[in-house]
Amino acid sequence: MKLGVVLRAENLIREKEFRHNRVVTPYGPVDRIFSGALHGVETHFLYGRFPGRRTPSWEIPYQANQSAFDELDVDHQIGTFVVGGVDKAVRGGDLVVPHDLISFSGPGISLPPRDNRFSNAHVVPAFCPLLRSLLLRGARETGTAVHESGVYFNFYGFARIETDAELSLMEKLGVRLVGQTLDPEFTLARLRRRHYAAIAVAIDSYHDMKNEAEQDPDVFRARSRQAIADGREHFERIIEAGLATLGDAPPRSAAARASRPATTATCSPPFPRTCCEPLPGAPGRLPAPSGRAAGRAAVP
Phi, psi of 145 (to 5 degrees): -75, 130
Q: In the chain, which stretches have pLDDT less than 50? A: 248-252, 254, 256-266, 268-274, 277-300
Contact between 144 and 238 under an 8 Å Cβ cutoff? The reply is: yes
pLDDT of residue 38: 97
Q: Which residues contact 15 (CB under 8 A, 6 or more apart)?
A: none
- Consecutive H or E run containing 177: strand 177-179
Mean pLDDT over each residue of the chain, to the nearest integer: 81
What is the set of domains in the chain, with CATH numbers?
Answer: 79-293 (3.40.50.1580)
Write the pLDDT tens digit of every residue in 183-224: 889 999 999 999 999 999 999 888 777 666 667 778 888 888
Which residue, among 139, 128, 100, has the nearest Cα to 266 in the 3D structure? 128
Q: Where are the alpha helices (DSSP H) in 101-163?
A: 129-142
Write the pLDDT tens digit of every residue in 249-275: 444 454 544 444 433 344 543 333 445
pTM: 0.82
